Amino acid sequence: MILFFTPHQGLEESMSRFYIASIVLALEYLHDNSIAFRDLKPENVLIDAQGYVKLGDFGFAKMVETGGRTYTFCGTPGYVAPENVMGRGYNHSVDWWTLGVLMYVLLTARQPFTSPKTQDPMEVMRRIVDERWPIKYPPYMSEEATDLISKLLERKPVKRIGMLQGKARDIKQHPWFAGFDWEGLAARRIDPPRKPKESDSAKRKSELAEAHRGEPKEPPPATAQEMAEWDRMFRDF
Ligand SMILES: *[C@@H]1O[C@H](CO)[C@@H](O)[C@H](O)[C@H]1NC(C)=O
């Protein structure tokens, strides 16, 4: 995703809503198929020619069966969930946490646990797991957005929105999405807030290529067969 906002403030909430909602649908779909995406961040959110969202880079995606857990430490330092840092096993709960980080980044153009002064990954991860470390919400952020982000950035996975009885539905029914046309989005009937220009997609490609260079990936990149499988799953998305 090209972060097309000013340096000090993020996207307008009404615009962000479309992108966050699209990712909610994608994650819900993956989770219903027992897949944890595990590496949600702006670089992996792609915008197609019509302006709709696609998740890209399934290098970290993994099948996690109900009741199963996975232990690999992976993700991106500012985005990793506390249960991933702790190394005691986790499941798709990490995706709802990273959605909270991504939403924060979209609305503020800053990361919740990283600052220009504090980029040391160990310190960032200490903040992520520390229940007492307060996340700062800027005053221009709406009450509803602040509430939703704080429920996604709930450090205990069992209490995190998305992991409760209503699962993804709890997120869709959160007041931040009041009046949002979820069915229209799933059917690609609503107008994306922004359609990429040709020049953007050329830029996007080179940014992606850059991001991949020299970045060790674990598990190893997907096979052609897995890629075909994901293409099939995302055909309608
Ligand atoms: C995922 O892990 C949480 C605890 O972190 C657990 O409550 C939940 O049942 C697990 N979900 C699945 C589908 O295994």
What does the pLDDT look like over 61-70, one tens digit per residue?
A: 888 888 888 8
In a domain, 216, yes or no: no
CA distance 159 to 19: 24
In a domain, 219, yes or no: no
Q: In this model, does residue 5 exceed pLDDT 80?
A: no
**CATH code, domain with 65:** 1.10.510.10
- Angle at Cα 13 formed by Cα 184 and Cα 117, nearest 5°? 135
In a domain, 228, yes or no: no
Quick one: DSSP state of residue 90? B
Indicate which residue's Cα is closest to atom 5 of ligand 1.
157
Stretch 185-196: mean pLDDT, rounded? 91
In a domain, 236, yes or no: no
Which residues make beta-bridge pairs with 70? 90
In a domain, 103, yes or no: yes
CA distance 84 to 177: 28
In a domain, 183, yes or no: yes
Q: What contacts 129, CB < 8 A, 6 or more positions away?
A: 82, 85, 86, 155
Q: Residue 126 sits in which domain range?
A: 13-207
What does the pLDDT look like over 31-46, one tens digit per residue?
A: 999 999 998 988 899 9
Q: What are the tokens at 24?
A: 């909610």
Residue among 32, 33, 91 whose CB has most ligand 1 atoms within 8 A, to mutate: 91
CA distance 83 to 98: 12
CA distances 165 to 36, 44, 101, 232, Å, are 18, 28, 22, 29
Quick check: CB of 158 below 6 Å from ligand 1? yes
If one counts the domains in the chain, the total is 1
Output the pLDDT for position 117. 84
Output the pLDDT for position 175. 98
Q: What contacts 190, CB < 8 A, 6 or more positions away?
A: 18, 181, 184
In a domain, 179, yes or no: yes
What does the pLDDT look like over 168-177, one tens digit per residue?
A: 999 999 999 9
Indicate which residue's Cα is closest to atom 7 of ligand 1.
158
Quick check: CB of 93 below 6 Å from ligand 1? yes
In a domain, 93, yes or no: yes
pLDDT-derived band at 221, boundaries 50, 70, 90: very low
Q: In this model, does residue 21 exceed pLDDT 80?
A: yes
